[in-house]
Structure 1
Amino acid sequence: MLALILFILVLSNSQSARVGSLNDEGFALLPFKQSIREDPEGSLNNWNYSDENPCSWNGVTCKEQRVVSVSIPKKKLSGFLSPSLGSLSELRHVNLRNNKFFGSLPVELFGALGLQSLVLYGNSLSGSIPSEIGKLKYLQNLDLSQNLFNGSIPTSLIQCKRLRTLDLQQNNFTGSLPDGFGANLVSLEKLDLSFNKFGGPIPNDLGNLSNLQGTVDLSHNLFSGSIPASLGDLPEKVYIDLTYNNLSGPIPQNGALMNRGPTAFIGNLGLCGPPLKNPCSPDSTGVNSPSSYPFLPSNYPPGDNTGKSRNGSGLSKTAIVAIVVSDVVGICLIGLLFSYCYLRVCPRSKRKDENGYGFEKGGKGRRVCLCFRKDESETLSENVEQYDLVPLDTQVAFDLDELLKASAFVLGKSGIGIVYKVVLEDGLTLAVRRLGEGGSQRFKEFQTEVEAIGKLKHPNVVTLRAYYWSVDEKLLIYDYMSNGNLATAIHGKAGMVSFTPLPWFVRLQIMKGVAKGLVYLHEYSPKKYVHGDLKPSNILLGANMEPKISDFGLGRLANIAGGSPTLQSSRVASEKPHQRQQSNVSSEVAAVNPVANLGSYYHAPEALKMVKPSQKWDVYSFGVILLEMITGRATIVQVGTSEMDLVSWIQLCIEEKKPLGDVLDPYLVEDVDKEEEMIAVLKIAMACIQTSPERRPTMRHISDVLERLAVSSD
């Protein structure tokens, strides 16, 4: 027993000796290791008590046995920031970028008064910036971008007068910039406040930042008021990005603000004057100028009492009487028109049987009026036979017999049936999708869904012309698009004899058209639809390269018709990434079953967690398509011997500050004069692919920006 006690005492003394061998610097760092919950790459494995000092530990740099730098970037570390870092008296640099740190910035961190560089971008840190940051008199580089910080910038920040880089982009900061921001931080060389919620006026003293270089990015915020003329005092080589704010009034024409294209100012509906094409009124302050309000039908600026008399007393008695009389006359005319149509224009519908003899449809002599067809406001008749072609458009001039006798060529196959190119005897070309041979009897449900889709009429949405239903056959008939789909137009495909890349102006027109089509689906369609599966292969191109969004609502129809869209999705999920990209088959899985198609790189990140798609899903998909059109690259990019998805690749290029020429499609070199437009579109794409759905713009906003961009280039 005595021997055992002696052994324990010796062992404990040995452990005490080992612990005591680590210096104070090491003891200050060990709590940081303990605050790490996940270290999948084992980056901190050699941080232990047995060393005399931490100078040999991964990520630690010492000078004269004192820790001067802690740099552990891109190691997937998950945890919170330990306050103990602030006790390292000689600490000069902290770089923990692109990890998974969460929680707030500990106030104790700013006890390291000699700190010169604090780089924490690409984490999930939150909360506000402590006012103690003003103690860091030697701070030169502060990068907190791509986090979840909120609150306003503390006024004490202006005491960091040696600050050269301030990057706060992609957070949730609010409030105005501190007074004296420009007057005190005169050493700034880089300023990026984009993608936040900063508001209030742009400080006049920003013009004092004479050392700024590159781009001063204030875009995607809530800055309001006029653009201060003092911004023109910035170095002329500086590009000032003020896009997507609430700025108003004339754009000053001096210094660094002169000779700038419209892309620096888009997204501010209240701005006017050159280089925009919105003229300023003589007394324009921008607040109530016409350009402050987008032109929409029945959309008048506040204060416009349209419909009232000039003296504000409302309509006169004479006007009221005239309106009543005209209404009565109009009702009478409509009644006469209905009577005429029914008696004269609506013959009893007949068709020929196989022997050439005519018979009345349905056997009851039912009248089929041709004055008002299925694409108007009424619903499809519940008495429509389930074995006939049902037109949804007044332009349908063929019947089922003509369709079945026509020449047909397979365009593509997917889990939602086969698509045929069908050429009728009179030369009319159609696209026919065969939904399968399921035996479902849910005709009324199918009918309702088809009717809703058939009512969608927009130049940039493919029109459903007719459909056919029977127990063993379901067909959807569309217009045929002669120029294929956008995927082929961008990348070509195997077997193509020649490939002509799209010039920039055509790509821009396609972007505009797709955006308009999505705005229509989101805001003006009867049910405010979500596509849910948007990608280049289901954006078809007409004779003049006009884009048409297709494959809309197919998942719902396939489920009703007895098809099995999930079968295709299972195959897609099992394919390799490059195999998925090379498939140009349209819409393997539609909006109602998005979870089944998560192999697609066009789906938003939140699709993994949510079943019901939102409009912001379409925004994300549109952003990926923009990247594809700008870069000319597929959704999987080869980087050395490895692969990464297009979104990650473009983010890496921005992180590594690659030149624009390395990002753009090489075929766009000839359009070098459109570089500003390309940069503007790239910024729109980056806004669309934000991880957080709330931070993505609406399709209405995107369409307005693209439209103005295109007008400015005319």
Structure 2
Amino acid sequence: MNHGQDGRCPNIDNRRRMNTMIVMMVGLMVARQSCVLAQENAAEALLKFKTALVNVDPSLGNWNPSTPPCTGNTGNWAGVHCFNGYVWGLQLENMGLQGQIDVDALVGLQSLRTLSFTNNNFQGTMPDWRKLPALTSLFLSRNQFSGEIPNDAFTGMESLKKVHLSDNKFTGPIPTSLASPAMVELGLDNNQFSGSIPPFPSGNIQVFNVSGNQLEGPIPPSLRKLDPSSFTGNSALCEGDSCEPPPDMEPNLHPLPTGVAPSAKRKKLSPAIIFIIILSILLALFLLLLLLLMCMWWSLEDDIETPRQEMSMTASPFSERSPQQQATKLSFVRDDRQKFDLQDLMRASAEVLGSGSFGASYKAVLVDGEALVVKRFKQMTNITKDEFHDHMKVLRGLQHPHLLPLVAYLYRKEEKLIVFDFVANSSLGKHLHDDGKRPEGWPKPLNWPCRLKAIKGTVRGLAYLQAELPGLEAPHGHLKSSNVLLDSNYNALLMDYTLGPMVNPAQISEALVAYKCPEYAMSGRTSRKSDVWCLGILILETLTGRAVDKYLGQGGQCYGAELAGWVKGIVEEANAKGAAGVFDKDMEINAEAEAEAEKLLQIGIWCCQEELEKRLDLVDALAKIEQLHE
């Protein structure tokens, strides 16, 4: 009997290899059978769920067992969103659905994470969502739900981040189980909630609205930094730990002095009490000075983002925690710039410009007076250092009059810093939505020539990006009015462009505007026309002056019905009143300019078509816009 060089019998080795192959084949068969079984279970669960609904045809007409609900990341059934062959979301919006939401039927969908039944006709009390503890998003706005929501209705749902119950008929107190540390968005406006607002953990809520209810008492301290419009329509709400607003008056949404009763009589203080007060003040000043010195030594924590729009900060937000763990050298992409280093940024005075889906933006003024914009990106942790440097080289090669050029960048594992020139004239969005708070020195609201000039510059910049980056489906990817800067002559400068390849795939649909387009909601993919859709939204916003940011931010990964309704409302109003009826009155256009503005409005509507075949190509949009006159 022959033996191998190592003394083992070849037949034994062959038998082992054969056993390994058999085990692998059995494993593959089991995995495939599990996938098929999961598809069958999902189809069975969804069909059972459908039977409890009323008025499902033709909206859910393609829900039938002849086709699986999911194929990879593509949903084959209307309103079904998929990931790796599993159902992760249902988006059944604007379908006129009635009947019962059978939560029990959905329990078998182990990967289900998001549900949206916005703008239907569901009635009755709140379903028991605790049976779906893995949900992250729940959208029930604009239905006919009513009654009191149990206080523990959301207990145990530790992953729940977004809940929107606006425009229903809910009554009673707000459930305290909604005030969880994970909650990021909460819309309860236009209901009949009463009682006080429960305390929410500080620093987590980004979108919050309880306007149009019957709430009373003080606004919790953790929510007082939010937009005051989030609380309007609750006449008994007030701000302060113990405040009683006058009857029949709107609440005072500005902080009231605490600890001092307006009607209290002042008493003469003894010398001993005066001494204690002075000593306490001196001690407080000493502690404050010590705290400021500590802040100058250590960096602010990464997850602390002040919501105030303009605040001078003593400690730089660009400082580093550990020189051994952090990169310290800035990489410059322009040779015509005077070089500076991270220490210069750390010594610069910093001012918060805003906080978006990517992270915070700061205005930094260097010692020599040069102003820069530094953006901190936290959604790029998956990209390697080499990949990041390579993409920065791509951006370095992009040079166009309507692109804001990069200055420098810094790679860190947990965040990336990108430095741009500061543009003093701010963004198109700020000019459109200043709400009567125009900074000193700014001219009157944008007139028609300035708005047309901004749109022309924007579409020229987009056309350049599409021509230079043919391999990207959405070369800009994040076009919105706050990312269109205006120079001193009102020429458009696009920023935050071509960042898609660097964003974490799991977060890209929440971070980039192009991924909220209709085709991504339908197929899970963007297209070359996704930037055109963003352009159309921008055109309508520019002509009407109506803000759209909140619609782009709501709905998580899905193309929200709110945004579709926003576009539809403009179109219907223009058809009913004429195009002039939807124009922003601040444009102050004459009859000749009005005709040109009407043409631009029509171009914007063509760019917003949900069906790709009906939507304009960017080349066609550019040609039509270039023909317009100021």
Q: TM-score range by the shorter chain?
A: 0.3 to 0.5
- Give me the TM-score of the superposition, normalised by structure 2: 0.43
